[in-house]
Amino acid sequence: MPNFNGCVIARRYELVQQLGRGGFGVVYQAIDHGVAIDSDEQYVAVKIMQKAGRNEADLAALKQEVILHGIATTCSDGVVQLIDAFEDDAYCYIILELCRGGDLYDHITKNTYQGNDELLRRAFISLVDAVQAIHDAKIAHRDLKPANVLSNEDGSELYLADFGMATTEPVISEFGHGTSHFMSLECIGELTAQQPYDPYLSDIWAMGVILFAMITRTNPWSKATIKDDDFCEFLMDPDYLFFAHPISSGAHAIIREMLQPDPTQRISLRNLRQAILSLDTFFRQMCQFEYVVHEHERITIPPPAINPMLATPKSEFKSTNKAPEIDILDAASGPAARVAQNCSAGSAVDISSTTTSQLGCHDPDCSSCSSSRASSGASDAENVGTPEGIIPTMAINTGAVMMAGTHHKVVRGDHGLQNVPFVPAQVAMAQYGVPQAQYFPIFVPAYPVYYVNPNAYPYH
Protein backbone atom coordinates (compact mmCIF):
# COMPACT_ATOMS: atom_id res chain seq x y z
CA MET A 1 0.00 0.00 0.00
CA PRO A 2 1.21 3.53 -0.69
CA ASN A 3 2.30 6.01 1.92
CA PHE A 4 -0.75 8.08 2.90
CA ASN A 5 1.07 10.52 5.21
CA GLY A 6 -0.15 14.05 4.51
CA CYS A 7 -3.20 12.90 2.55
CA VAL A 8 -6.64 14.27 3.38
CA ILE A 9 -9.45 11.72 3.26
CA ALA A 10 -13.02 12.82 2.47
CA ARG A 11 -11.84 16.46 2.68
CA ARG A 12 -11.81 16.09 6.47
CA TYR A 13 -9.30 13.61 7.90
CA GLU A 14 -5.64 14.61 7.50
CA LEU A 15 -3.38 11.58 7.95
CA VAL A 16 -0.32 12.52 9.98
CA GLN A 17 1.27 9.34 11.35
CA GLN A 18 1.16 5.61 10.63
CA LEU A 19 0.21 3.57 13.71
CA GLY A 20 0.20 0.04 12.34
CA ARG A 21 0.18 -2.10 9.22
CA GLY A 22 -1.20 -5.49 8.19
CA GLY A 23 -1.43 -7.61 5.05
CA PHE A 24 -4.43 -5.78 3.59
CA GLY A 25 -4.65 -2.67 5.72
CA VAL A 26 -2.95 0.16 7.52
CA VAL A 27 -3.94 2.43 10.42
CA TYR A 28 -3.07 6.12 10.64
CA GLN A 29 -3.47 8.81 13.26
CA ALA A 30 -5.37 11.69 11.69
CA ILE A 31 -6.56 15.19 12.45
CA ASP A 32 -10.30 15.60 12.16
CA HIS A 33 -10.83 19.06 10.67
CA GLY A 34 -14.56 18.71 11.19
CA VAL A 35 -14.34 19.35 14.94
CA ALA A 36 -13.10 22.26 17.01
CA ILE A 37 -9.37 22.74 17.40
CA ASP A 38 -7.98 21.46 20.73
CA SER A 39 -11.07 19.30 21.20
CA ASP A 40 -10.59 15.87 22.74
CA GLU A 41 -12.05 14.48 19.51
CA GLN A 42 -9.65 16.33 17.22
CA TYR A 43 -7.46 13.27 16.71
CA VAL A 44 -8.85 10.01 15.33
CA ALA A 45 -7.57 6.72 13.95
CA VAL A 46 -8.21 5.90 10.29
CA LYS A 47 -8.16 2.25 9.22
CA ILE A 48 -7.60 1.90 5.46
CA MET A 49 -8.23 -1.51 3.88
CA GLN A 50 -7.31 -2.39 0.32
CA LYS A 51 -9.96 -3.89 -1.97
CA ALA A 52 -7.58 -5.21 -4.61
CA GLY A 53 -6.78 -8.90 -4.25
CA ARG A 54 -9.89 -9.66 -2.22
CA ASN A 55 -12.77 -11.83 -3.36
CA GLU A 56 -16.45 -11.19 -2.87
CA ALA A 57 -16.53 -13.09 0.44
CA ASP A 58 -13.70 -10.93 1.80
CA LEU A 59 -15.45 -7.72 0.79
CA ALA A 60 -18.68 -8.94 2.36
CA ALA A 61 -16.75 -9.65 5.57
CA LEU A 62 -15.46 -6.05 5.53
CA LYS A 63 -19.00 -4.73 5.38
CA GLN A 64 -20.06 -7.07 8.20
CA GLU A 65 -17.16 -5.85 10.32
CA VAL A 66 -18.37 -2.27 9.95
CA ILE A 67 -21.97 -3.20 10.73
CA LEU A 68 -21.16 -5.27 13.84
CA HIS A 69 -18.62 -2.76 15.12
CA GLY A 70 -21.22 -0.04 14.72
CA ILE A 71 -23.73 -2.06 16.74
CA ALA A 72 -21.13 -2.80 19.43
CA THR A 73 -20.29 0.90 19.67
CA THR A 74 -23.84 1.66 20.76
CA CYS A 75 -23.76 -1.10 23.40
CA SER A 76 -20.81 -0.15 25.55
CA ASP A 77 -18.20 2.49 26.29
CA GLY A 78 -15.76 -0.42 26.45
CA VAL A 79 -15.72 -0.68 22.65
CA VAL A 80 -13.50 1.53 20.49
CA GLN A 81 -16.00 3.98 19.04
CA LEU A 82 -16.69 3.75 15.31
CA ILE A 83 -17.15 7.32 14.08
CA ASP A 84 -17.61 6.89 10.34
CA ALA A 85 -17.08 4.46 7.47
CA PHE A 86 -17.01 4.89 3.68
CA GLU A 87 -15.30 3.54 0.57
CA ASP A 88 -14.07 4.40 -2.89
CA ASP A 89 -13.05 2.22 -5.81
CA ALA A 90 -9.74 1.16 -4.24
CA TYR A 91 -10.10 1.30 -0.45
CA CYS A 92 -12.47 1.02 2.50
CA TYR A 93 -12.03 3.62 5.27
CA ILE A 94 -13.09 3.17 8.91
CA ILE A 95 -12.79 6.19 11.21
CA LEU A 96 -12.25 5.15 14.83
CA GLU A 97 -11.73 6.69 18.25
CA LEU A 98 -8.02 7.18 18.97
CA CYS A 99 -6.82 5.33 22.09
CA ARG A 100 -3.59 6.95 23.23
CA GLY A 101 -2.59 4.15 25.55
CA GLY A 102 -1.77 1.70 22.76
CA ASP A 103 -2.91 -1.88 23.07
CA LEU A 104 -2.94 -4.38 25.91
CA TYR A 105 0.06 -6.18 24.44
CA ASP A 106 2.15 -3.04 25.02
CA HIS A 107 1.09 -2.85 28.67
CA ILE A 108 1.84 -6.54 29.24
CA THR A 109 5.35 -6.24 27.85
CA LYS A 110 5.98 -3.04 29.83
CA ASN A 111 5.07 -4.70 33.16
CA THR A 112 2.21 -2.26 33.69
CA TYR A 113 0.25 -4.68 35.85
CA GLN A 114 3.02 -6.52 37.68
CA GLY A 115 2.37 -6.43 41.42
CA ASN A 116 -0.52 -3.97 41.03
CA ASP A 117 -3.66 -5.90 41.93
CA GLU A 118 -6.07 -2.98 41.78
CA LEU A 119 -4.89 -1.74 38.39
CA LEU A 120 -5.10 -5.24 36.92
CA ARG A 121 -8.51 -5.78 38.51
CA ARG A 122 -9.90 -2.53 37.15
CA ALA A 123 -8.52 -3.19 33.67
CA PHE A 124 -9.79 -6.76 33.43
CA ILE A 125 -13.22 -5.85 34.82
CA SER A 126 -13.54 -3.24 32.06
CA LEU A 127 -12.77 -5.98 29.53
CA VAL A 128 -15.33 -8.33 31.10
CA ASP A 129 -17.97 -5.60 30.99
CA ALA A 130 -17.25 -4.85 27.32
CA VAL A 131 -17.46 -8.51 26.30
CA GLN A 132 -20.63 -8.94 28.36
CA ALA A 133 -22.17 -5.96 26.52
CA ILE A 134 -21.48 -7.29 23.03
CA HIS A 135 -22.60 -10.79 24.03
CA ASP A 136 -25.86 -9.30 25.29
CA ALA A 137 -26.18 -7.70 21.84
CA LYS A 138 -25.75 -11.19 20.30
CA ILE A 139 -22.24 -10.49 19.00
CA ALA A 140 -19.32 -12.85 19.61
CA HIS A 141 -15.89 -11.29 18.98
CA ARG A 142 -14.00 -14.52 18.07
CA ASP A 143 -10.56 -12.86 17.97
CA LEU A 144 -9.92 -11.65 21.51
CA LYS A 145 -6.20 -11.14 22.13
CA PRO A 146 -4.02 -8.38 23.63
CA ALA A 147 -3.35 -6.78 20.22
CA ASN A 148 -7.10 -6.39 19.65
CA VAL A 149 -7.71 -4.75 23.03
CA LEU A 150 -6.81 -1.06 23.24
CA SER A 151 -6.39 0.98 26.42
CA ASN A 152 -6.18 4.40 27.98
CA GLU A 153 -2.77 5.79 28.90
CA ASP A 154 -2.37 4.18 32.33
CA GLY A 155 -3.83 0.82 31.26
CA SER A 156 -6.76 1.00 33.68
CA GLU A 157 -9.49 0.96 31.00
CA LEU A 158 -9.59 -1.52 28.11
CA TYR A 159 -11.55 -1.25 24.87
CA LEU A 160 -12.50 -3.91 22.33
CA ALA A 161 -11.31 -3.36 18.76
CA ASP A 162 -11.15 -5.22 15.43
CA PHE A 163 -14.48 -6.91 14.77
CA GLY A 164 -13.23 -8.51 11.56
CA MET A 165 -14.08 -12.04 12.75
CA ALA A 166 -17.17 -11.17 14.81
CA THR A 167 -20.38 -13.11 14.31
CA THR A 168 -23.99 -13.12 15.41
CA GLU A 169 -24.40 -16.87 14.87
CA PRO A 170 -25.10 -18.93 18.03
CA VAL A 171 -23.20 -21.94 16.66
CA ILE A 172 -20.46 -21.94 14.03
CA SER A 173 -18.42 -24.53 12.13
CA GLU A 174 -15.34 -22.50 11.17
CA PHE A 175 -12.15 -23.95 12.62
CA GLY A 176 -8.60 -22.66 13.00
CA HIS A 177 -9.49 -18.99 12.50
CA GLY A 178 -7.81 -16.53 14.85
CA THR A 179 -4.51 -16.37 16.72
CA SER A 180 -3.24 -19.78 17.85
CA HIS A 181 -2.33 -18.86 21.43
CA PHE A 182 -5.87 -17.67 22.19
CA MET A 183 -7.96 -20.15 20.20
CA SER A 184 -10.06 -22.53 22.28
CA LEU A 185 -9.63 -26.23 21.72
CA GLU A 186 -13.11 -26.45 20.16
CA CYS A 187 -12.20 -23.61 17.77
CA ILE A 188 -9.10 -25.54 16.71
CA GLY A 189 -11.23 -28.68 16.41
CA GLU A 190 -8.45 -31.24 16.78
CA LEU A 191 -9.78 -32.72 20.03
CA THR A 192 -13.47 -32.24 19.24
CA ALA A 193 -13.63 -33.89 15.80
CA GLN A 194 -14.55 -30.42 14.46
CA GLN A 195 -17.98 -30.42 16.00
CA PRO A 196 -19.91 -27.14 15.69
CA TYR A 197 -19.30 -24.93 18.72
CA ASP A 198 -20.54 -21.88 20.62
CA PRO A 199 -18.37 -18.82 19.75
CA TYR A 200 -19.52 -16.98 22.89
CA LEU A 201 -18.02 -19.66 25.14
CA SER A 202 -14.90 -19.60 22.98
CA ASP A 203 -14.54 -15.89 23.82
CA ILE A 204 -14.42 -16.81 27.52
CA TRP A 205 -11.53 -19.20 26.84
CA ALA A 206 -9.60 -16.42 25.07
CA MET A 207 -10.21 -14.10 28.03
CA GLY A 208 -8.74 -16.76 30.32
CA VAL A 209 -5.53 -16.76 28.29
CA ILE A 210 -5.50 -12.94 28.33
CA LEU A 211 -5.91 -12.83 32.11
CA PHE A 212 -3.10 -15.37 32.51
CA ALA A 213 -0.85 -13.21 30.31
CA MET A 214 -1.66 -10.04 32.27
CA ILE A 215 -0.60 -11.78 35.49
CA THR A 216 2.47 -13.69 34.32
CA ARG A 217 3.63 -11.94 31.12
CA THR A 218 3.64 -15.37 29.50
CA ASN A 219 1.23 -17.47 27.49
CA PRO A 220 0.23 -20.82 28.99
CA TRP A 221 0.88 -22.62 25.68
CA SER A 222 1.40 -21.96 22.00
CA LYS A 223 -1.68 -23.82 20.80
CA ALA A 224 -4.32 -25.92 22.53
CA THR A 225 -3.47 -29.18 20.78
CA ILE A 226 -1.96 -32.48 21.88
CA LYS A 227 1.20 -31.55 19.97
CA ASP A 228 1.84 -28.75 22.47
CA ASP A 229 3.74 -30.04 25.52
CA ASP A 230 2.44 -27.34 27.87
CA PHE A 231 -1.17 -27.92 26.88
CA CYS A 232 -0.73 -31.67 27.35
CA GLU A 233 0.61 -31.01 30.85
CA PHE A 234 -2.48 -28.90 31.53
CA LEU A 235 -4.83 -31.64 30.32
CA MET A 236 -3.10 -34.24 32.48
CA ASP A 237 -2.84 -32.01 35.55
CA PRO A 238 -5.28 -29.08 35.90
CA ASP A 239 -3.00 -27.62 38.60
CA TYR A 240 -0.04 -27.48 36.21
CA LEU A 241 -0.35 -23.73 35.59
CA PHE A 242 -0.37 -23.02 39.32
CA PHE A 243 2.84 -24.93 40.03
CA ALA A 244 4.63 -23.70 36.89
CA HIS A 245 3.82 -19.98 37.19
CA PRO A 246 3.65 -17.35 39.95
CA ILE A 247 -0.13 -16.90 40.11
CA SER A 248 -2.15 -16.88 43.29
CA SER A 249 -4.37 -19.82 44.17
CA GLY A 250 -7.46 -17.65 43.76
CA ALA A 251 -6.43 -16.41 40.31
CA HIS A 252 -5.57 -19.96 39.31
CA ALA A 253 -9.03 -21.18 40.34
CA ILE A 254 -10.67 -18.50 38.19
CA ILE A 255 -8.45 -19.22 35.19
CA ARG A 256 -9.17 -22.94 35.48
CA GLU A 257 -12.89 -22.21 35.26
CA MET A 258 -12.32 -20.06 32.17
CA LEU A 259 -10.14 -22.72 30.52
CA GLN A 260 -12.43 -25.68 31.08
CA PRO A 261 -11.96 -28.09 28.14
CA ASP A 262 -15.74 -28.68 28.21
CA PRO A 263 -17.18 -25.33 27.01
CA THR A 264 -20.45 -25.87 28.88
CA GLN A 265 -18.53 -26.00 32.19
CA ARG A 266 -16.84 -22.59 31.76
CA ILE A 267 -17.64 -19.79 34.14
CA SER A 268 -20.22 -17.24 32.99
CA LEU A 269 -19.15 -13.63 32.47
CA ARG A 270 -21.35 -12.42 35.32
CA ASN A 271 -19.86 -14.96 37.73
CA LEU A 272 -16.41 -14.13 36.39
CA ARG A 273 -16.92 -10.45 37.20
CA GLN A 274 -17.92 -11.26 40.77
CA ALA A 275 -14.98 -13.64 41.21
CA ILE A 276 -12.50 -11.00 40.01
CA LEU A 277 -13.95 -8.39 42.37
CA SER A 278 -13.73 -10.82 45.31
CA LEU A 279 -10.16 -11.90 44.63
CA ASP A 280 -7.60 -10.64 47.14
CA THR A 281 -4.54 -10.90 44.86
CA PHE A 282 -3.59 -12.18 41.44
CA PHE A 283 0.07 -12.70 42.24
CA ARG A 284 2.18 -15.11 44.25
CA GLN A 285 5.51 -13.81 45.48
CA MET A 286 8.67 -15.56 44.37
CA CYS A 287 9.45 -16.68 47.91
CA GLN A 288 6.13 -18.56 47.87
CA PHE A 289 6.76 -19.83 44.35
CA GLU A 290 10.13 -21.46 44.95
CA TYR A 291 10.37 -25.01 46.21
CA VAL A 292 11.70 -25.18 49.76
CA VAL A 293 14.36 -27.81 50.35
CA HIS A 294 13.69 -29.49 53.67
CA GLU A 295 16.56 -30.63 55.84
CA HIS A 296 16.05 -34.34 55.18
CA GLU A 297 16.13 -33.66 51.41
CA ARG A 298 19.45 -31.88 51.42
CA ILE A 299 22.23 -33.63 49.59
CA THR A 300 25.89 -32.81 49.28
CA ILE A 301 27.21 -32.27 45.79
CA PRO A 302 31.00 -32.19 45.48
CA PRO A 303 32.42 -29.29 43.49
CA PRO A 304 33.12 -30.15 39.85
CA ALA A 305 36.62 -31.24 38.98
CA ILE A 306 38.64 -28.37 37.56
CA ASN A 307 41.28 -28.93 34.95
CA PRO A 308 44.45 -27.39 36.42
CA MET A 309 45.20 -25.98 32.97
CA LEU A 310 41.99 -23.90 33.17
CA ALA A 311 42.41 -22.75 36.77
CA THR A 312 43.60 -19.36 37.90
CA PRO A 313 46.63 -19.63 40.23
CA LYS A 314 45.87 -18.90 43.87
CA SER A 315 48.34 -16.08 43.95
CA GLU A 316 46.39 -14.29 41.22
CA PHE A 317 42.99 -14.87 42.82
CA LYS A 318 41.35 -11.91 44.53
CA SER A 319 38.19 -12.57 46.51
CA THR A 320 35.29 -10.26 45.66
CA ASN A 321 31.56 -9.88 46.08
CA LYS A 322 31.19 -9.14 42.38
CA ALA A 323 32.00 -11.98 40.02
CA PRO A 324 33.37 -11.11 36.56
CA GLU A 325 31.09 -10.62 33.62
CA ILE A 326 30.57 -13.50 31.21
CA ASP A 327 29.51 -13.63 27.62
CA ILE A 328 26.43 -15.79 27.11
CA LEU A 329 26.18 -16.75 23.47
CA ASP A 330 22.79 -17.39 21.92
CA ALA A 331 22.88 -18.75 18.42
CA ALA A 332 19.37 -17.35 17.81
CA SER A 333 20.24 -13.79 18.74
CA GLY A 334 23.58 -13.41 16.97
CA PRO A 335 25.96 -11.21 19.00
CA ALA A 336 26.99 -12.15 22.49
CA ALA A 337 24.97 -10.67 25.34
CA ARG A 338 27.06 -9.47 28.25
CA VAL A 339 25.53 -10.34 31.63
CA ALA A 340 26.99 -9.52 35.02
CA GLN A 341 27.13 -12.28 37.60
CA ASN A 342 25.89 -11.03 40.96
CA CYS A 343 27.07 -13.56 43.51
CA SER A 344 26.38 -11.50 46.60
CA ALA A 345 24.36 -13.19 49.34
CA GLY A 346 24.80 -16.53 47.70
CA SER A 347 22.80 -15.54 44.64
CA ALA A 348 22.54 -17.62 41.54
CA VAL A 349 24.23 -16.40 38.38
CA ASP A 350 21.74 -14.00 36.79
CA ILE A 351 21.23 -15.39 33.32
CA SER A 352 18.41 -13.03 32.29
CA SER A 353 17.48 -9.59 33.54
CA THR A 354 13.78 -10.27 32.81
CA THR A 355 13.27 -13.35 34.90
CA THR A 356 12.63 -11.55 38.19
CA SER A 357 9.95 -9.35 36.67
CA GLN A 358 8.36 -12.39 35.07
CA LEU A 359 7.99 -13.97 38.47
CA GLY A 360 6.69 -10.80 40.03
CA CYS A 361 8.58 -10.71 43.36
CA HIS A 362 9.64 -7.14 44.11
CA ASP A 363 9.81 -7.30 47.89
CA PRO A 364 13.26 -6.00 48.97
CA ASP A 365 12.74 -7.43 52.44
CA CYS A 366 11.94 -10.95 51.27
CA SER A 367 14.44 -13.09 53.12
CA SER A 368 14.18 -16.09 50.83
CA CYS A 369 14.28 -14.57 47.36
CA SER A 370 15.57 -10.99 47.52
CA SER A 371 17.12 -9.92 44.22
CA SER A 372 16.56 -13.34 42.64
CA ARG A 373 18.72 -14.94 45.33
CA ALA A 374 18.85 -18.59 46.27
CA SER A 375 19.47 -19.00 49.99
CA SER A 376 22.77 -20.73 50.45
CA GLY A 377 24.00 -19.46 53.77
CA ALA A 378 26.25 -16.65 52.58
CA SER A 379 25.62 -13.06 53.65
CA ASP A 380 26.24 -9.79 51.86
CA ALA A 381 29.27 -9.19 54.05
CA GLU A 382 30.89 -12.48 53.16
CA ASN A 383 33.28 -12.79 50.25
CA VAL A 384 32.41 -15.26 47.56
CA GLY A 385 35.29 -17.61 46.91
CA THR A 386 35.87 -21.08 45.54
CA PRO A 387 37.67 -24.07 47.00
CA GLU A 388 41.42 -23.56 47.13
CA GLY A 389 41.20 -20.22 45.38
CA ILE A 390 40.31 -21.60 41.96
CA ILE A 391 37.81 -19.83 39.67
CA PRO A 392 36.23 -22.24 37.16
CA THR A 393 35.78 -19.40 34.65
CA MET A 394 35.88 -21.51 31.51
CA ALA A 395 33.58 -24.12 33.02
CA ILE A 396 31.03 -21.36 33.74
CA ASN A 397 31.29 -19.97 30.22
CA THR A 398 30.95 -23.42 28.68
CA GLY A 399 27.86 -24.15 30.75
CA ALA A 400 26.39 -20.77 29.85
CA VAL A 401 26.84 -21.44 26.16
CA MET A 402 25.19 -24.82 26.58
CA MET A 403 22.23 -23.20 28.37
CA ALA A 404 21.78 -20.33 25.92
CA GLY A 405 22.36 -22.56 22.90
CA THR A 406 19.38 -24.66 23.89
CA HIS A 407 17.31 -21.51 24.51
CA HIS A 408 17.32 -22.06 28.28
CA LYS A 409 15.02 -25.09 28.07
CA VAL A 410 15.10 -27.89 30.59
CA VAL A 411 16.15 -31.21 29.09
CA ARG A 412 13.00 -33.23 28.54
CA GLY A 413 12.78 -36.80 29.78
CA ASP A 414 10.69 -39.11 31.90
CA HIS A 415 11.41 -37.25 35.11
CA GLY A 416 8.32 -35.02 34.95
CA LEU A 417 10.11 -31.67 34.71
CA GLN A 418 8.99 -29.83 31.59
CA ASN A 419 9.43 -26.06 31.26
CA VAL A 420 9.56 -25.67 35.04
CA PRO A 421 11.16 -22.26 35.63
CA PHE A 422 13.66 -21.50 38.37
CA VAL A 423 14.41 -24.99 39.68
CA PRO A 424 17.88 -25.31 41.24
CA ALA A 425 19.88 -28.34 40.19
CA GLN A 426 20.12 -29.63 43.77
CA VAL A 427 16.35 -29.34 44.27
CA ALA A 428 15.65 -31.10 40.98
CA MET A 429 17.96 -33.93 41.95
CA ALA A 430 16.49 -34.17 45.45
CA GLN A 431 12.85 -33.94 44.39
CA TYR A 432 12.88 -35.91 41.16
CA GLY A 433 15.97 -38.07 41.40
CA VAL A 434 17.37 -36.83 38.11
CA PRO A 435 21.08 -37.38 37.41
CA GLN A 436 23.08 -34.19 37.47
CA ALA A 437 24.27 -34.73 33.88
CA GLN A 438 20.74 -34.20 32.54
CA TYR A 439 20.54 -30.62 33.74
CA PHE A 440 23.68 -28.85 32.52
CA PRO A 441 24.00 -26.98 35.85
CA ILE A 442 26.45 -24.09 35.94
CA PHE A 443 28.34 -23.76 39.18
CA VAL A 444 30.29 -21.21 41.00
CA PRO A 445 30.69 -24.04 43.55
CA ALA A 446 27.76 -24.10 45.98
CA TYR A 447 25.88 -21.50 43.90
CA PRO A 448 23.53 -23.21 41.41
CA VAL A 449 22.17 -21.47 38.34
CA TYR A 450 18.40 -21.22 38.02
CA TYR A 451 16.77 -22.07 34.74
CA VAL A 452 15.19 -19.22 32.83
CA ASN A 453 11.45 -19.36 32.14
CA PRO A 454 11.36 -20.18 28.40
CA ASN A 455 7.88 -18.69 27.92
CA ALA A 456 8.75 -14.97 28.00
CA TYR A 457 5.81 -13.16 26.53
CA PRO A 458 6.55 -12.51 22.83
CA TYR A 459 3.13 -12.90 21.30
CA HIS A 460 0.45 -10.55 20.01
Q: What is the band of 402 on the pLDDT scale with cuts at 50, 70, 90?
A: very low
Q: What is the mean pLDDT of residues 157-168?
A: 96
| 459 vs 60 pLDDT, higher one | 60
Q: Is the pLDDT of residue 181 over 70?
A: yes
159 pLDDT higher than 80: yes
Rounded Cα distance between 99 and 79, Å, is 11
Please, are residues 149 and 162 in contact by the beta-carbon 8 Å criterion? no
**At residue 409, does pLDDT exceed 70?**
no
Is 63 annotated in a binding site? The answer is no
Q: Rank 318-322, 382-386, 428-432 by mean pLDDT and report only the highest.
A: 428-432
How far is Cα 353 from Cα 111, in angstroms, rounded to an integer?
A: 13
Tens-place pLDDT, residues 415-454:
343 443 434 444 444 444 444 433 333 333 333 333 334 4
Give 220's contacts (C-beta < 8 A, 6+ positions apart).
Answer: 209, 212, 230, 231, 234, 241, 245, 259
pLDDT of 389 > 80? The answer is no
| The pLDDT of residue 321 | 40
Tell me the average pLDDT of the chain: 73
Q: Which among 81-90, 274-283, 288-297, 450-459 has the top mean pLDDT? A: 274-283
For residue range 190-240, what is the model confidence (pLDDT) as tens digits? 999 999 999 999 999 999 999 999 999 999 999 999 999 999 999 999 899
% of the chain surpassing 70 pLDDT? 62
pLDDT score at 451: 34
Tens of pLDDT, residue by residue over 21-42, are 877 789 999 999 988 777 777 8
HEC profile of 307-375: CHHHCCCHHHCCCECECCCEEECCCCCCCCEEECCECHHHECCCCCCCHHHHHCCCCCCCCCCHHHECC
**Which sign does the torsion angle of CA 267, 268, 271, 272 carry?**
positive
- Domains of the chain plus CATH, in order, are 8-97 (3.30.200.20), 104-284 (1.10.510.10), 300-448 (no CATH)
CA distance 102 to 382: 47
446: left (phi over 0), alpha (psi -120 to 50) or beta: left
The whole-number pLDDT of residue 27 equals 94
Taking residues 74-82, what's their average pLDDT?
95
Amino acid, single-letter form, for residue 246: P
